[in-house]
Amino acid sequence: MNLKLGSTIKNLRMHNRFTQEEMATYLGVTPQAVSRWESETCYPDIELLPSIAAFFSVSTDTLLGVNRTEREKRLLEIYDIIDEHSETGDDTEETLREAREFAAEFPTDEKVQEHLADTLCRIYMWSPDGANREALKEAEKIYLTLIENTKDVDFRNKMLEALLALYSVGYKDGFKAESMLEKLPSMKYSRERVASELAEMTREKDEYRQEFIEMLTAHLGTALENYIIDGIPNTPDMWDKKIEMFEYVIGLYIFVFGENLLYYHADVAGLYRVIATYKLSQQKYDEALDVLEKMCEHILLENAVKSGEKFTSHFTNRLVYPERGKDFTPLIAHNCAYYTLNGKLVQKRYDPIRETERFKAVVEKLEQIAE
């Protein structure tokens, strides 16, 4: 707390020509208490600060001597750090310590508090040794507080989704996960779907319909990919069928977005990588290399996307992506390349083609992006 608080209260009181008795009556304290504050013998209880600020018609920042311009500048600096962490996923005990410091510095800022909870989950929910329940309880408490206090409906739903993942993956508690799921709005009443319906009725704002198509395709593509991998038996007699299905999903992306997939190049690259694993299992090594080269091509295309580019399909050509800052797209490509190199291509399944020139060329190109 600012050590000048007492003199600030005194100056504000005298400037507004209030007596200590008048101020004490308003706050429900004794005049002697006000006198002790002004002499800085002691400070008022923190619960009284909003009432004191209201009495003088000033903000609590003014009362505490906080330079709002500097504070806002500091918050923007923290936001930049948070955005970088969320894109790179580079979480360690050091980044957790940093997240705690940010949360202590801005205890009422939703994005800062969300960052602390997300960092706890990224570090402790996916641990190879099993989830750390105590750490996740801290994240759970933060999410619940944010859900209860936020006035932003979108942010509330985002926190519900995060809590749903915590319960499902971290706690493995199906009952709690189901309870969170019930609090989320259904697709039937989503803003994008309703806006699309209105656009259809009024023949206005085609962007609404295109945004709905874009969102629907993104979620459908992910759902189909996961279902093909986990929901269909992974037996040798099904591998060709699965490859065919993955190719249909790739066709879906191209059909909706056109040849210029922008940041959906990363999604298609991931599908080609999965197809390559089935080709390797079938010992079709040349075909596996063909697919890996296509994967690499899409990551390179992702890396070349510039802010302001548009999709070329008639279904989405009114949309402009990306719109998240100049560093957004390179981070997607970087993360995709890094994950592919260090999380996938190091697996033993790639040993039969590891020493080929074509495989080495793919690795070399990915390394340049992942640096």
Class of domain 5-64: mainly alpha
CA dist 35 and 6 (Å) reads 9
pLDDT score at 180: 87
pLDDT score at 200: 61
Length of the chain as a residue count: 371
CA 242 to chain CA centroid, Å, is: 31
Q: Which residues pair with 320 in a beta bridge?
A: 310
CA dist 364 and 119 (Å) reads 31
Q: Which two tokens stand for residue 83?
A: 């955005």
CA dist 81 and 102 (Å) reads 10
Query: Looking at this protein, which amino acid is placed at residue 99?
Result: A
pLDDT score at 328: 46
> How many CB atoms lie under 10 A from the CB of residue 27?
16
Residue ranges of the domains in the chain?
5-64, 68-184, 191-370
Using CA atoms of 117, 123, 125, 131 in order, give the dihedral in degrees to the nearest 10: -120
Q: Is the dihedral of CA 29, 32, 35, 37 positive or negative?
A: negative
Please list the pLDDT of the chain residue by residue as tens digits (371 residues).
445 788 888 888 887 788 898 899 889 999 899 998 988 888 888 888 888 988 887 778 778 877 667 778 888 899 888 887 776 667 888 999 999 999 998 888 899 999 999 999 988 987 767 678 888 999 999 999 999 988 888 899 999 999 999 999 899 898 998 888 888 888 777 766 676 666 666 555 677 788 888 989 999 999 999 999 999 999 999 999 999 999 999 999 999 999 989 889 999 999 999 999 999 999 999 999 999 999 999 999 988 888 788 898 999 998 876 554 444 445 678 888 988 998 899 999 999 999 999 999 999 999 998 87
Q: Which two tokens stand for residue 46?
A: 């923190």
CA dist 10 and 103 (Å) reads 31
Q: How far is CA 284 from CA 86, 194, 240, 248, in A?
A: 37, 47, 12, 20
What residues have CB less than 8 Å from 49, skipping those under 6 apart?
Answer: 60, 63, 64
Maximum Cα interatomic distance, the chain, rounded to a whole number of Å: 89
